[in-house]
């Protein structure tokens, strides 16, 4: 199981749940601005470029404040590249495990960097990129990762992501400007440094051909225990060592701790054993609203959960038997109609929501915890379900 990252429980304590519709994603703009201040300082101290990973978070209403600090976005294909170009100022860096011929000319219209996943795709599209003055990158697989959950380990031997680092001598680096790797997931600085020690012996013979090195995402830079001083020194040394522009692609770290998912207890059904007699049905579906609970799995943090108490299994409203959020403790058994709040739900939730069983997406609310005001920026209804395909 992917361990749940600890979050600061002081956040969202002033949120008045009585006026929040259920279910809702609530995002505190103050926390995002606090996170951006950390990135802004890192940029000033190191001259690194920082891109928002749209795969983790792509709420365009917040792009004005994010793009004032970050240098652009990294996209995973045509739609994200087009979306980034339309709503976010700065660099568009696009990577995909494989590009389609029918989309590639449009991808070139919206991208300044295009990173390829295989030697065959480099050969196929290199000349087109050179002709359009698009900088070409190559994704490498360092064959090293400290990610314990296999579904999130993109650097395993059998990963489909990136060219094995020991195959770099098979690449013609003429006209190739950059190297990209991504081997982290919710990790501190040491994992990045350890990965670099594996990569550098392979890169030092080709680095003179390169203009930029993209260190990917998974850097939990805005976490309170992240070693920012070590990262800063490392990035400065890296720039001197390689004479390249260094790029980071955080996603989760940009909006870390900034969002919650508010739901409601709808009903109880009979428990399946004496130890856990309480099974609650909520209006939050992990299948529809936070799919990582099903895919990873992981256990989202419940606001104000005590270490011990009355155990309640919280489940969703869909027909899937496995639509279970998890088992949680309560000081008192929550009543039907009571609100529940899951922490750190901005990233990899809004981007993954789906209409399975016709279940509506949660409303999306921007909240300013300093002014204690909120605004519903998106509600969903039948029309959204009807026009989904």
Residue-wise pLDDT for 247-265, tens only, equals 999 999 999 999 999 999 9
Whether 120 maps to a domain, the answer reads yes
Whether 139 maps to a domain, the answer reads yes
The pLDDT value recorded for residue 5 is 63
Q: Residues 236, 102: one domain?
A: yes
Whether 35 maps to a domain, the answer reads no
Calpha distance 22→214 (Å, rounded): 40
Query: Domain boundary at 223, 253, 283, which?
Result: 253
Q: Residues 197, 127: one domain?
A: yes
The pLDDT value recorded for residue 1 is 37
Asked if 94 and 111 count as a contact pair (C-beta separation under 8 A), the reply is yes
DSSP secondary structure code for residue 380 in this structure? -
pLDDT at 277 over 90: no
Q: Mean per-residue pLDDT for 220-246?
A: 97
Tens digit of pLDDT for each residue in 154-202? 999 999 999 999 999 999 999 999 999 999 999 999 999 999 999 999 9
Calpha distance 255→31 (Å, rounded): 8
The pLDDT value recorded for residue 2 is 47
The pLDDT value recorded for residue 214 is 98
Query: Domain boundary at 203, 233, 253, which?
Result: 253
Calpha distance 174→177 (Å, rounded): 8
Q: Residues 109, 229: one domain?
A: yes
Q: Band of the pLDDT at 298, cuts 50, 70, 90?
A: confident
Q: Residues 88, 236: one domain?
A: yes
The pLDDT value recorded for residue 150 is 85
Whether 32 maps to a domain, the answer reads no
Query: Domain boundary at 253, 278, 294, which?
Result: 253
Q: Residues 266, 240: one domain?
A: no
Where in the sequence is the domain holding 311, given as residue range(s)?
Answer: 17-26+258-386
Tens digit of pLDDT for each residue in 373-385? 999 999 999 999 9
DSSP secondary structure code for residue 164 in this structure? E
Tally of residues, the chain: 389
Q: Residues 218, 285: one domain?
A: no
Tokens representing residue 4 in the block:
């749940």
Whether 57 maps to a domain, the answer reads yes
* Cβ atoms within 10 Å of 358's Cβ, excluding its own: 11
Whether 320 maps to a domain, the answer reads yes
Closest CA to 91 of 112, 109, 75: 112
- What domain count does the chain have? 2
Q: Residues 122, 68: one domain?
A: yes
Strands 24-28 and 259-270: antiparallel
Closest CA to 302 of 362, 354, 345, 357: 345
The pLDDT value recorded for residue 272 is 67
Q: Band of the pLDDT at 275, cuts 50, 70, 90?
A: confident
**Which of 6-15, 50-59, 131-140, 376-385 shows the lowest mean pLDDT across its residues?**
6-15
Tens digit of pLDDT for each residue in 312-367? 999 999 999 999 999 999 999 999 999 999 999 999 999 999 999 999 999 999 99
Asked if 312 and 224 count as a contact pair (C-beta separation under 8 A), the reply is no
* CATH number of the domain that residue 335 is part of: 2.40.37.10
* Cβ atoms within 10 Å of 354's Cβ, excluding its own: 13
Strands 49-53 and 24-28: unpaired
Q: Residues 239, 361: one domain?
A: no
Tens digit of pLDDT for each residue in 68-113? 999 999 999 999 999 999 999 999 999 999 999 999 999 999 999 9
Q: Residues 245, 273: one domain?
A: no
Q: Band of the pLDDT at 244, cuts 50, 70, 90?
A: very high
> DSSP 3-state helix, strand, coil percentages of the chain (rounded to 5)?
30, 25, 45
Q: Model's pTM, two decimal places?
A: 0.94
Mean pLDDT, the chain, whole residue set: 94
The pLDDT value recorded for residue 296 is 82
The pLDDT value recorded for residue 148 is 87
| Long-range Cβ contact pairs of 110-117 (< 8 A, separation 24 or more) | 110/75, 110/78, 110/81, 110/82, 110/84, 110/85, 111/75, 111/81, 112/72, 113/137, 113/177, 113/178, 113/212, 115/139, 115/178, 115/180, 115/214, 117/160, 117/161, 117/162, 117/163
Q: Residues 209, 271: one domain?
A: no
Tokens representing residue 188 in the block:
């501190």
Whether 6 maps to a domain, the answer reads no
Whether 141 maps to a domain, the answer reads yes
Q: Residues 218, 190: one domain?
A: yes
pLDDT at 271 over 80: no
Q: Mean per-residue pLDDT for 133-158?
A: 93
* CATH number of the domain that residue 71 is part of: 3.20.20.10
Calpha distance 348→255 (Å, rounded): 10
Q: Residues 286, 331: one domain?
A: yes
The pLDDT value recorded for residue 115 is 98
């Amino acid at each position: 199981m992917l361990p749940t990252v600890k979050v600061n429980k002081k956040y969202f304590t002033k949120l008045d749940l009585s006026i929040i519709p259920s279910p809702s994603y609530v995002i505190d703009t103050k926390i995002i601005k606090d996170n951006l201040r950390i990135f802004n300082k890192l940029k000033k101290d190191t001259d690194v470029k920082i891109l928002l990973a749209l795969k983790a978070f792509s709420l365009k209403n917040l792009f004005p404040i994010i793009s004032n600090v970050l240098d652009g976005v990294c996209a995973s294909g045509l739609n994200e590249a087009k979306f980034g170009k339309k709503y976010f100022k700065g660099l568009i860096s696009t990577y995909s495990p494989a590009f389609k011929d029918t989309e590639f000319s449009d991808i070139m219209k919206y991208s300044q960097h295009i990173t390829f996943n295989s030697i065959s795709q480099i050969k196929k599209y290199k000349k087109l990129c050179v002709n359009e003055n698009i900088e070409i990158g190559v994704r490498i697989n360092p064959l090293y990762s400290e990610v314990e959950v296999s579904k999130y380990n993109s650097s395993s031997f059998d990963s489909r992501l990136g060219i094995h680092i020991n195959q770099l001598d098979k690449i013609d680096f003429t006209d190739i400007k950059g190297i990209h790797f991504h081997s982290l997931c919710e990790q501190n600085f040491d994992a990045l440094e350890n990965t670099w020690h594996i990569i550098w012996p392979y890169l030092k013979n080709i680095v003179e051909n390169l203009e930029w090195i993209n260190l990917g995402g998974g850097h939990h830079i805005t976490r309170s225990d992240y070693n920012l001083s070590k990262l800063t020194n490392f990035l400065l040394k890296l720039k001197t060592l390689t004479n390249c522009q260094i790029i980071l692609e955080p996603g989760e770290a940009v909006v870390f701790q900034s969002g919650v998912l508010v739901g409601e207890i709808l009903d109880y059904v009979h428990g399946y054993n004496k130890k856990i007699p309480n099974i609650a049905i909520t209006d939050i579906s992990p299948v529809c609203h936070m799919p990582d609970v099903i895919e990873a799995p992981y256990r989202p943090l419940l606001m104000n959960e005590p270490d011990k108490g009355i155990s309640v299994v919280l489940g969703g409203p869909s027909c899937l038997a496995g639509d279970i959020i998890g088992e949680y403790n309560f000081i008192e058994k929550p009543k039907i109609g009571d609100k529940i709040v899951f922490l750190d739900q901005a990233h990899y939730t809004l981007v993954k929501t789906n209409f399975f069983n016709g279940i509506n997406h949660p409303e999306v609310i921007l909240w300013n915890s300093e002014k204690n005001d909120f605004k519903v920026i998106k509600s969903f209804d039948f029309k959204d379900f009807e026009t989904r395909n």
